[in-house]
C-alpha cells in the first residue's frame, strides 16, 4: 500500500514539476489526445520545456551568493575572511578602524565580482539575441501538444493529493484509464499503442498496396480531391501570410516551422517537406560539429506533399519519438497516420481473409510495420481504416543550430526544444573555470600558512613561559591575561594578525588586475583580428587568459581543425604526365628543412614564378576560347595544360575527358551570385576543390536538374543526362 502510494506521489510530482524528459514522447498533429494523456482540466499531462535557453551562470538574484561561493573556493580568500573576523574583536585588532581591515578583502571581492558580472552579462546578451531571433510558425492553428494555459503549481499539488485519496468509482475509473480496460479493445503496451485510443475499432488485415502513402490523403471518399499547389523552389522563398513571425523562445513542441534558405534551425525538428522535388535539403552543421561542408537531409515520404499552410491543417498523423539524448548522429522514431477506404463487395472480411497475403514494402523509407483494417460499430460499417507507419531516422532530422543552405524552403515539425535539444545536451552547464596558476597557488598558500602557524606557536609558547619574567613584561604582557596560559593563547592570535602578510593579499589584487588587462590586450590585438568576418578576438573567460602562456603542444583529432578545411588543387597526373607548378606549404617547408632554399626568400621566389606562369596560362586560355567564368586567382597553374589541349592528339583527349569527369561526377551544388560568379557548395571540401579547379580551366559545372547536368566545356554549354 505504501509502495503504491509512493509511486503515485512521484508520478504526480513529475507531472506538476516537469523536468528534462527521459521517456519516449508522442506528438499529435490535428488529432485529439487520448484520455489518459489529459488531466482534469483537459490539458496535456506531458509538459514540455520552453525553447528558451540560458548559458549565463548567474541571474540577478543568484549573482551575489553564487559569485561569493565561487570566490571563496580559493583558500586564500577564506584565510583573509578569517583574519577580518578575528580583527573585529578589539583584543586581537592591530588597526584603528575596522573599515581599514575590511578594505583589502572587499577590493578583491568587488574587483573579481565586477569582472565576472561583465563576462556573464555578455553571455546574457548572447542568449537574448538567440532567444529573440525570428522564425516562422503556422498561425491560427491549434497545437494540441501544449497546454493553452498553465495551472498554478499549488493547484496541481492540491489536485494530486485529491487523486491519491480517491475511492470507489473514481479510483476504479482511474485504474481503467491507466490499464486501458475502459476501451472496447485492450491497448497493447508497445511503442505504437499510445495513440491507439484515437482509433479504437475492430481490426482486420488489408492489402498494403491499395493505400496511398501520404498523410494528406487520409480518405479515398472525398468527391473532389484537392490537388497539391507546389510553390516555387527559388532561393529565399517569400513567406505566406499564414506563417507568422515567432520568437525562437516561443517555439513549442509540435509546432509547424517554415524555414527559408540561410535560416538557422530554432529547435530539433523532423523534415516534413522541402522545395526540392525529391524532398532533399542541405544544412550546414558548423555550429554543431565544426564541419563546414554541407550535409544532405531528406523529408519523410508520407509528408513530402505538404506544401502550404492548408496542407499542414489537413494533415493528420502522430509521431512516436525516443527520449532526448546527446548523440548528434542517432535518432529513432516512427510516424503513423490513418487512411480510410470505402467498403466494397470485394473488400468484405470473408474475401479479405481468403485473399490476404503478406507483402513486403518496396519503398525505401516508408516501412509498413503493421497494416490494420478497422470497422466502426454504428454508421461507419462501410468504412475501412488503415494505420500506416514510416520510420524516422537521423537523416530526416534538423538539429538546432544548423543553417539551411541551397534550399528554397523547408517545412518541419518540432520534436525537442530548449535544453532538450542535442546542442544544449552536449554543451551542458556553463562551468566555473580556474586557471592553472590559480590551482597551483593553493598548495603554496597552505605551505605559507604552516610557516605562519609555526611562528605564531613559537611566540605563544615564549609568551606563556616568560609570563612571570619581569624583563619581558613590556613586550609580552597582554591586557586581561590572568595567567601564562591565557597570555600564550591571546598572543597566538595577535601574532597571527601581525604576521598575516606572509600570505600577501596584494598578490591576489595584482593577479585580478593583470588578468583583466590581459583580456583587454587580447581583444585589441591586431594580429588576432579576423578580417573576413570583421571581428576582433573576444575572450570569453578572463580567468584562464593566462593559461595561453602555458601551452606547449596542440593536439588535433583531424587535419581540418588546423587547415580550416581549405583545400587547394595544386597538381595532377593525366595519362602519366604531371601537371601543376604550385607547391604546398608542406613542400616549401621540406625544402627549408633540407636547406635547399633560403628561408627568407623561399616563398617570395616561388610566388613570383607562380604569378608569371599564371599570367601565361590565362593568356593561352583566352586565346583558345572565351571563358566567362574565368578565375584570375586559380590555385592550379600550368600553361602546359592548354598547350597539350591544342595538340589534338591522344593526350589532348585524355585531358578533356579528365577535366570533364571532374565537372560531372560529383554531388556539388552550384550557387550563382549577383555578379554571375559561381560558388560551389559540397559535402566535402575536397570535392569542391576538384570541381572549382575544373571550372577555372574551362570545364564549368553550371546547374543540376532532376535528370540532367548542365556544363560549360571550353565555352560551349552542354546538357548531360544522368545515368545514375
Q: What is the pLDDT of residue 134?
A: 93
Question: Strand locations in 220-376, DSSP E?
Answer: 243-247, 256-260, 268-274, 280-284, 294-298, 317-321, 332-342, 373-375
**pLDDT tens, residue by residue, 378-412:** 444 555 667 889 999 999 999 999 999 888 899 99
Q: Burial, 510: exposed, middle or buried (Cβ in 10 Å; 0-12, 13-18, 19+)?
A: exposed
pLDDT at 249 over 60: yes
CA distance linking residue 542 with residue 141, whole number of Å: 47
Q: What is the pLDDT of residue 231?
A: 39
**pLDDT tens, residue by residue, 428-439:** 776 677 778 878
Q: What is the mean pLDDT of residues 655-676?
A: 85
pLDDT at 501 over 80: yes
Q: Model-level pTM?
A: 0.68
Q: Sorting pLDDT into bands at 50, 70 and 90, what band is 140?
A: confident
Q: Sorting pLDDT into bands at 50, 70 and 90, what band is 221?
A: very low
CA distance linking residue 374 with residue 196, whole number of Å: 12
C-alpha cell read off for 542:
578572463
Q: Sorting pLDDT into bands at 50, 70 and 90, what band is 597?
A: low
Q: Which residues belong to the active site?
A: 557
pLDDT at 12 over 70: no
Q: What is the pLDDT of residue 695?
A: 92
Closest C-alpha to 487, from 467, 458, 472: 467
Q: What is the pLDDT of residue 35?
A: 84
Dihedral sign (CA 659, 660, 665, 667): positive
Position with higher pLDDT, 484 vs 65: 65
Owner of C-alpha cell 552543421: 285
Q: What is the pLDDT of residue 443?
A: 84
| 558 carries a ligand binding annotation | yes
pLDDT at 657 over 80: yes
Report the percentage of the chain scoring pLDDT > 90.
22
Confirm if 585 and 635 have CB atoms less than 8 A apart: no
**pLDDT tens, residue by residue, 180-202:** 333 333 323 333 333 333 333 33
Task: Output the CA torsion 661→664→665→667 (10° steps).
Answer: 150
pLDDT at 222 over 60: no
pLDDT at 686 over 60: yes
CA distance linking residue 209 with residue 197, whole number of Å: 26
Domain ranges for the chain = 202-427, 507-552, 572-721
| 119: helix, strand or coil | helix
Q: What is the pLDDT of residue 289?
A: 78
C-alpha cell read off for 175:
485504474
Q: What is the pLDDT of residue 189?
A: 33
Closest C-alpha to 366, from 387, 386, 388, 385: 388
| 379 carries a ligand binding annotation | no
| 417 carries a ligand binding annotation | no
As a whole number, the mean pLDDT across the chain is 75
The DSSP code sequence of 519-544 is HHHHHH-GGG-BTTTTB----S-GGG
Q: What is the pLDDT of residue 606?
A: 63
Q: What is the mean pLDDT of residues 662-690?
A: 83
| Inter-CA distances, 169 with 39, 226, 446, Å | 17, 48, 69
pLDDT at 254 over 80: yes
Specify the CATH class of 202-427 in words: mainly beta
pLDDT at 225 over 80: no
Q: What is the pLDDT of residue 322?
A: 92
Which residues are CB-contacts of 539 (< 8 A; sequence separation ≥ 6)? 519, 522, 523, 545
Q: Sorting pLDDT into bands at 50, 70 and 90, what band is 273?
A: very high
Question: Strand locations in 131-286, DSSP E?
Answer: 134-138, 202-204, 243-247, 256-260, 268-274, 280-284
CA distance linking residue 570 with residue 385, whole number of Å: 62
Confirm if 698 and 687 have CB atoms less than 8 A apart: no
Low-confidence winner among 8-12, 46-50, 365-369, 667-671 (lowest mean pLDDT): 365-369
Q: What is the pLDDT of residue 699?
A: 93
Question: Strand locations in 150-276, DSSP E?
Answer: 202-204, 243-247, 256-260, 268-274
Q: Sorting pLDDT into bands at 50, 70 and 90, what band is 224?
A: very low
Which range, 83-87, 99-103, 576-580, is most confident?
576-580
Q: Sorting pLDDT into bands at 50, 70 and 90, what band is 581?
A: confident
Burial per residue of 18-34, b for 16 or more beta-carbon CB atoms within 10 angstroms, e otherwise: eeebeeebbbbbbbebb
CA-based Rg of the chain, rounded to a whole angstrom? 37
Closest C-alpha to 48, from 194, 198, 229, 251: 251
Q: What is the pLDDT of residue 150?
A: 56
Degrees to nearest 5, angle at CA 655 with 652 and 661: 140
Owner of C-alpha cell 537523416: 395
**pLDDT tens, residue by residue, 533-549:** 788 888 877 778 888 88
**pLDDT tens, residue by residue, 304-350:** 999 999 999 989 999 999 999 989 889 999 999 887 655 444 544 44
Q: What is the pLDDT of residue 364?
A: 39
pLDDT at 288 over 50: yes
Q: What is the pLDDT of residue 351?
A: 41
C-alpha cell read off for 209:
498496396
Q: What is the mean pLDDT of residues 116-145?
A: 90
**pLDDT tens, residue by residue, 235-246:** 455 556 689 999
Count of CB atoms situated within 10 Å of the CB of 151 = 15
Low-confidence winner among 31-45, 305-319, 372-386, 505-519 (lowest mean pLDDT): 372-386
Amino acid at each position: 500500500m505504501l509502495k503504491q502510494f509512493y509511486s503515485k506521489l512521484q508520478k504526480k510530482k513529475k507531472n506538476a514539476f516537469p523536468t528534462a524528459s527521459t521517456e519516449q514522447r508522442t506528438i499529435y498533429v490535428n488529432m485529439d489526445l487520448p484520455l489518459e494523456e489529459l488531466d482534469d482540466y483537459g490539458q496535456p499531462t506531458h509538459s514540455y520545456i520552453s525553447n528558451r535557453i540560458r548559458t549565463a551562470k548567474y541571474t540577478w538574484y543568484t549573482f551575489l551568493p553564487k559569485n561569493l561561493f565561487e570566490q571563496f573556493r580559493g583558500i586564500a580568500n577564506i584565510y583573509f575572511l578569517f583574519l577580518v573576523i578575528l580583527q573585529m574583536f578589539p583584543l586581537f585588532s592591530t588597526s584603528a578602524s575596522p573599515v581599514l581591515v575590511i578594505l583589502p578583502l572587499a577590493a578583491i571581492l568587488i574587483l573579481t565580482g565586477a569582472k565576472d558580472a561583465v563576462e556573464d552579462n555578455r553571455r546574457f546578451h548572447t542568449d537574448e539575441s538567440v532567444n529573440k531571433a525570428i522564425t516562422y510558425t503556422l498561425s491560427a492553428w491549434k497545437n494540441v501538444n501544449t497546454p493553452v494555459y498553465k495551472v498554478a503549481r499549488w493547484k496541481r499539488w492540491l489536485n494530486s493529493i485529491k487523486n491519491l485519496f480517491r475511492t470507489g468509482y473514481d479510483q476504479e475509473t482511474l485504474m481503467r484509464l491507466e490499464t486501458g480496460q475502459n476501451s472496447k479493445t485492450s491497448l497493447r503496451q508497445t511503442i505504437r499503442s499510445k495513440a491507439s485510443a484515437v482509433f479504437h475499432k475492430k481490426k482486420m488485415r488489408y492489402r498494403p498496396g491499395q493505400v496511398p502513402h501520404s498523410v494528406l490523403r487520409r480518405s479515398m471518399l472525398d468527391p473532389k480531391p484537392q490537388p497539391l499547389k507546389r510553390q516555387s523552389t527559388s532561393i529565399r522563398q517569400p513567406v505566406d501570410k499564414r506563417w507568422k513571425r515567432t520568437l525562437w523562445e516561443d517555439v513549442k513542441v509540435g509546432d509547424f516551422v517554415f524555414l527559408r534558405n540561410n535560416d538557422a534551425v530554432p529547435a530539433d525538428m523532423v523534415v516534413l517537406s522541402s522545395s526540392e522535388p525529391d524532398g532533399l535539403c542541405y544544412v550546414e552543421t558548423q555550429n554543431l560539429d565544426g564541419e563546414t561542408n554541407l550535409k544532405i537531409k531528406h523529408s519523410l515520404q508520407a509528408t513530402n506533399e505538404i506544401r502550404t499552410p492548408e496542407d499542414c491543417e489537413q494533415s493528420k498523423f502522430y509521431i512516436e519519438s525516443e527520449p532526448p539524448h546527446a548523440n548528434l548522429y542517432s535518432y529513432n522514431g516512427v510516424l503513423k497516420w490513418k487512411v480510410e477506404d470505402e467498403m466494397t463487395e470485394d473488400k468484405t472480411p470473408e474475401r479479405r481473409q481468403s485473399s490476404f497475403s503478406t507483402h513486403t514494402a518496396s519503398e525505401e523509407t516508408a516501412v509498413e510495420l503493421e497494416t490494420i483494417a478497422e470497422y466502426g460499430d454504428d454508421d461507419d460499417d462501410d468504412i475501412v481504416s488503415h494505420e500506416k507507419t514510416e520510420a524516422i531516422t537521423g537523416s530526416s532530422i534538423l538539429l538546432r543550430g544548423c543553417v539551411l543552405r541551397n534550399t528554397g524552403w523547408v517545412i518541419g515539425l518540432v520534436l525537442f526544444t530548449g535544453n532538450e535539444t542535442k546542442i544544449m545536451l552536449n554543451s551542458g552547464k556553463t562551468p566555473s573555470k580556474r586557471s592553472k596558476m590559480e590551482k597551483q597557488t593553493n598548495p603554496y598558500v597552505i605551505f605559507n600558512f604552516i610557516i605562519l602557524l609555526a611562528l605564531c606557536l613559537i611566540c605563544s609558547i615564549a609568551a606563556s613561559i616568560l609570563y612571570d619574567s619581569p624583563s619581558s613584561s613590556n613586550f609580552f604582557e597582554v591586557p586581561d591575561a590572568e595567567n601564562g596560559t591565557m597570555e600564550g593563547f591571546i598572543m597566538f592570535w595577535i601574532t597571527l594578525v601581525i604576521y598575516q602578510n606572509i600570505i600577501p593579499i596584494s598578490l591576489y589584487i595584482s593577479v585580478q588586475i593583470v588578468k583583466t588587462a590581459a583580456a583587454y590586450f587580447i581583444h585589441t590585438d591586431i594580429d588576432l583580428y579576423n578580417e573576413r568576418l570583421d571581428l576582433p578576438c573576444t575572450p570569453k573567460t578572463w580567468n584562464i587568459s593566462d593559461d595561453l602562456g602555458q601551452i606547449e603542444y596542440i593536439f588535433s583529432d583531424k587535419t581540418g581543425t588546423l587547415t580550416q578545411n581549405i583545400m587547394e588543387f595544386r597538381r595532377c597526373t593525366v595519362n602519366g604526365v604531371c601537371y601543376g607548378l604550385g607547391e604546398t606549404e608542406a613542400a616549401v617547408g621540406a625544402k627549408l628543412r633540407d636547406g635547399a632554399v633560403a628561408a627568407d626568400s623561399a616563398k617570395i621566389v616561388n610566388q613570383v614564378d607562380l604569378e608569371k606562369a599564371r599570367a601565361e596560362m590565362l593568356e593561352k586560355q583566352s586565346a583558345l576560347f572565351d571563358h566567362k567564368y574565368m578565375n584570375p586567382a586559380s590555385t592550379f597553374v600550368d600553361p602546359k595544360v592548354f598547350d597539350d589541349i591544342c595538340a589534338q592528339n591522344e593526350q589532348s583527349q585524355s585531358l578533356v575527358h579528365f577535366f570533364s569527369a571532374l565537372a560531372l561526377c560529383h554531388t556539388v551544388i552550384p550557387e550563382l551570385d549577383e555578379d554571375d560568379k559561381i560558388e560551389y557548395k559540397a559535402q566535402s571540401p575536397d570535392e569542391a576543390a576538384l570541381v572549382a579547379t575544373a571550372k577555372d580551366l574551362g570545364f564549368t559545372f553550371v546547374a543540376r536538374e532532376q535528370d540532367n547536368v548542365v556544363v560549360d566545356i571550353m565555352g560551349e554549354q552542354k546538357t548531360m543526362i544522368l545515368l545514375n
